[in-house]
C-alpha cells in the first residue's frame, strides 16, 4: 500500500530529525528560545513539504528550510547574543567520568560554534555533518571555492579555541 | 590529523543521540503544528484589525466632518483631501503589507539557499520601506495640515495664523517623531542586520 504524504513526511523528517536539533543548538543558546525555534522549524518544514519536489536530497532541502528559519528567528529575536568568556581549556580532572568529560567537550564545542557569525555557523554545521562542498554551496549560496576559503578561516578560529581540548584526539 | 578533522570525528560520533531519541509521531506533530497555526492566524488577525480599525476611523471621522460642515467649502476641501490622500495609501499599504507578511516558506514559494533568502527578504522589506518613505514625505505634511485645520475647527484653538502654525507644528512633530522611531525599529535596523549577513556572503564571493 502506498504511504500517505503525511506518513512519508514523518518518515523523512524522523530519519533526519537530528538536523533540526543541531541547527537549534548551534543558533540558539537559551533552552526556552531553542524550543520555540524547534517548533517553528518543524512548522515551516511541514508547511513547505508540499513544495519539496525531490530534485535535491531531503536532507539538503531540510537544511535550507531549517537554516533560513533559524537566521530569520535570530534576526527577529530581541535578545542580544551573550558572549561568555570561554575557559582557557577543559579542566583535566581524573575523577571526572568519561561521560561527563564527553558532555563537557560537546558543550564547549557548541559554545565555540555559537560564537561564530550566523553564516559561519551554517558552513561549519554542514561541514561537521559530513556534507560535501557541493551540498554546502547549494545550501548557503557560496561558490564551492569560497566554501573551502571560508572553512579555512573558520578552522583557524576553531583551532585557536579548541586545540587544547581536541589536539590529543578523542 | 589536524584539529578540525578531530572535531569532525568527535561530532559525528557524539551527535547521533538526537536522531535516535526524538522521533515525532502524528500526535506530537499535531501538538507542535496546531499552536503554530493559531499563532500565525492570531498575528494575521491582529494585523488585519489594527489596519482596518485605523482606516475605518480615518474615513469615518472625515466623512462625518464632510456631512456636518457641508457648506463650509474650505473645510470640506481639507476633509476631501484627507480622504483622497488615504485611498491610494489604503490600497498600496494593504498590498505591500500582505506581500510583506507572506510566509517565506509557503508551499508555493520557491525554496532558496541562505544567500537567495537574504536577498529576497532585503528586497521585500526595501520595496515596502521605499514606498513608505515616499508616502511619509508627502503624506505627513498634508495629513498634519488636514488635522491642524480639523483641530482648529472642532477644538477651542484660536483661529489665528500663529494658532494654526503652533497646532500644525505640534501635530507635525508628533507624527514625524513617531514615524522616525517606527522606521528605525521596523525597517532600518532589520535591514541593516540583513545587509550585514548578506555582505558576509557577498564580500567573499567578490574577493
Q: What would the DSSP string read from start to end of A37-97?
A: HHHHHHHHHHHHGGG--SSS-HHHHHHHHHHHHHHHHHHH--SPPP-PPPPSS----TTS-
Contacts of the segment B125-128: beta carbons below 8 A, 24+ positions apart: B125/B100, B125/B187, B125/B190, B125/B191, B125/B194, B126/B191, B127/B96, B128/B96, B128/B97, B128/B99, B128/B100, B128/B187
**pLDDT higher than threshold 90 for residue B127:** no
Mean pLDDT of all residues in B127-142: 84
Q: What is the pLDDT of residues A80-93, one digit of tens each?
A: 444 455 555 555 55
Choose among B6, B19, B104: nearest Cβ to A169. Answer: B6
The pLDDT-based confidence of B125 (bands split at 50, 70, 90) is confident
Q: What is the pLDDT of residues B44-81, one digit of tens each?
A: 777 677 777 777 888 888 888 889 888 888 888 888 88
Instruction: Supply the pLDDT for residue A2.
Output: 67
Q: Give the integer Cα–Cα distance in Å for A43 and B29.
A: 9
Length of chain B: 207
Q: Give the range among A61-70, B16-25, B62-71, B111-120 with minimum mean pLDDT.
A: B16-25
- In a 10 Å sphere around its CB, with 0-12 CB exposed, 13-18 middle and 19+ buried, how is residue A106 labelled? middle
* Interface touch B105/A47, C-beta < 8 Å: yes
Under a CB-based contact definition with an 8 Å cutoff, are residues A122 and A137 in contact?
A: no
Q: Output B114 or B105, whichever has higher pLDDT.
A: B114
First to last CA, chain B: 30
> Which of A14, A41, A17, A43 lies closest to A27 in space, CA to CA?
A41
Under a CB-based contact definition with an 8 Å cutoff, are residues A162 and B7 in contact?
A: yes
Instruction: Supply the pLDDT for residue A3.
Output: 75
Length of chain A: 170
Chain A residues with CB-CB distance to B43 below 8 A: none
**pLDDT higher than threshold 50 for residue A102:** yes
Instruction: Supply the pLDDT for residue A170.
Output: 45
The pLDDT-based confidence of A74 (bands split at 50, 70, 90) is confident
Average pLDDT value over all residues in chain B: 81
Instruction: Supply the pLDDT for residue A82.
Output: 47
Any residues with CB less than 8 A from the CB of A48 and at least 6 apart, and which?
A: A65, B105, B106, B107, B109, B111
Q: What is the pLDDT of residues A20-30, one digit of tens each?
A: 999 999 999 88
The pLDDT-based confidence of B101 (bands split at 50, 70, 90) is low
- Match 518544514 to its residue by C-alpha cell: A45
Q: What would the DSSP string read from start to end of B89-122?
A: HHHHHHHHHHHHTS-TT-TTSPP--HHHHHHHHH
Mean pLDDT of all residues in B140-145: 83
Which letter does DSSP use for residue A4 in this model? P
Choose among B24, B109, B111: nearest Cβ to A14. Answer: B24
Under a CB-based contact definition with an 8 Å cutoff, are residues A19 and A63 in contact?
A: yes
Q: Output A128 or B99, whichever has higher pLDDT.
A: A128
Q: What is the pLDDT of residues A114-131, one digit of tens each?
A: 889 999 999 999 999 999
Choose among A43, A128, A142: nearest Cβ to B32. Answer: A43
Instruction: Supply the pLDDT for residue B48.
Output: 72
* Interface touch A142/B19, C-beta < 8 Å: no
**pLDDT higher than threshold 70 for residue A12:** yes
* Interface touch B18/A17, C-beta < 8 Å: yes
**pLDDT higher than threshold 90 for residue B103:** no
The total of other beta-carbon atoms located within 10 Å of residue A48's CB is 23
Percent of chain B with pLDDT over 70: 84
Q: Give the integer Cα–Cα distance in Å for B97 and B90.
A: 10
Q: Is A34 on the interface with B (CB under 8 A)?
A: no
The pLDDT-based confidence of B100 (bands split at 50, 70, 90) is low
Q: What would the DSSP string read from start to end of A131-156?
A: --HHHHHHHH---HHHHHHHHHHHHH
Chain B residues with CB-CB distance to A122 below 8 A: 114
Choose among B29, B37, B201: nearest Cβ to A141. Answer: B201
Q: Is B120 on the interface with A (CB under 8 A)?
A: no
Q: What would the DSSP string read from start to end of B140-166?
A: HHHHHHHHHHHHHHHS----SHHHHHH
- Match 532585503 to its residue by C-alpha cell: B122
Backbone angles phi, psi at B179, to 5 degrees: -65, -40
Under a CB-based contact definition with an 8 Å cutoff, are residues A167 and B6 in contact?
A: yes
Q: Of all helices (H) and strands (E), which one includes residue A98?
A: helix A98-114
Amino acid at each position: 500500500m502506498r504511504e500517505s504524504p503525511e506518513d512519508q513526511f514523518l518518515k523523512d523528517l524522523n530519519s533526519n530529525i537530528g538536523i533540526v536539533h543541531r541547527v537549534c543548538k548551534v543558533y540558539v543558546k537559551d533552552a526556552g528560545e531553542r524550543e520555540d525555534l524547534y517548533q517553528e522549524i518543524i512548522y515551516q518544514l511541514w508547511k513547505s513539504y508540499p513544495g519539496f519536489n525531490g530534485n535535491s536530497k531531503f536532507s539538503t532541502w531540510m537544511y535550507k528550510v531549517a537554516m533560513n528559519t533559524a537566521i530569520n528567528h535570530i534576526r527577529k529575536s530581541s535578545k542580544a547574543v551573550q558572549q561568555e568568556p570561554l575557559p582557557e581549556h577543559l579542566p583535566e580532572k581524573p575523577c571526572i567520568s568519561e561521560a561527563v568529560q564527553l558532555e563537557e567537550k560537546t558543550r564547549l564545542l557548541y559554545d565555540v560554534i555559537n560564537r561564530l557569525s550566523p553564516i559561519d555557523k551554517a558552513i561549519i554545521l554542514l561541514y561537521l555533518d559530513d556534507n560535501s562542498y557541493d551540498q554546502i554551496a547549494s545550501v548557503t549560496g557560496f561558490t564551492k571555492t569560497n566554501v573551502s576559503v571560508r572553512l579555512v578561516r573558520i578552522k583557524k578560529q576553531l583551532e585557536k579555541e579548541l586545540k587544547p581540548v581536541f589536539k590529543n584526539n578523542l | 590529523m589536524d584539529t578540525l578533522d578531530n572535531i569532525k570525528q568527535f561530532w559525528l560520533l557524539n551527535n547521533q543521540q538526537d536522531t535516535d531519541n526524538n522521533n515525532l509521531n502524528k500526535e506530537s506533530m499535531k501538538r507542535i503544528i496546531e499552536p503554530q497555526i493559531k499563532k500565525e492566524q492570531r498575528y494575521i488577525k491582529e494585523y488585519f484589525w489594527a489596519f482596518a480599525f485605523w482606516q475605518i476611523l480615518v474615513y469615518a471621522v472625515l466623512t462625518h466632518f464632510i456631512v456636518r460642515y457641508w457648506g463650509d467649502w474650505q473645510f470640506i476641501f481639507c476633509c476631501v483631501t484627507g480622504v483622497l490622500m488615504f485611498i491610494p495609501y489604503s490600497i498600496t499599504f494593504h498590498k505591500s503589507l500582505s506581500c510583506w507578511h507572506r510566509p517565506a516558506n509557503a508551499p508555493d514559494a520557491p525554496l532558496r539557499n541562505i544567500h537567495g533568502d537574504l536577498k529576497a527578504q532585503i528586497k521585500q522589506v526595501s520595496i515596502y520601506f521605499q514606498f513608505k518613505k515616499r508616502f511619509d514625505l508627502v503624506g505627513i505634511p498634508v495629513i498634519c495640515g488636514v488635522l491642524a485645520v480639523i483641530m482648529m475647527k472642532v477644538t477651542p484653538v484660536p483661529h489665528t495664523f500663529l494658532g494654526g502654525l503652533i497646532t500644525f507644528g505640534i501635530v507635525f512633530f508628533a507624527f514625524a517623531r513617531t514615524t522616525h522611531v517606527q522606521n528605525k525599529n521596523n525597517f532600518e535596523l532589520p535591514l541593516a542586520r540583513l545587509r550585514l549577513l548578506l555582505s558576509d556572503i557577498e564580500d567573499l564571493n567578490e574577493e
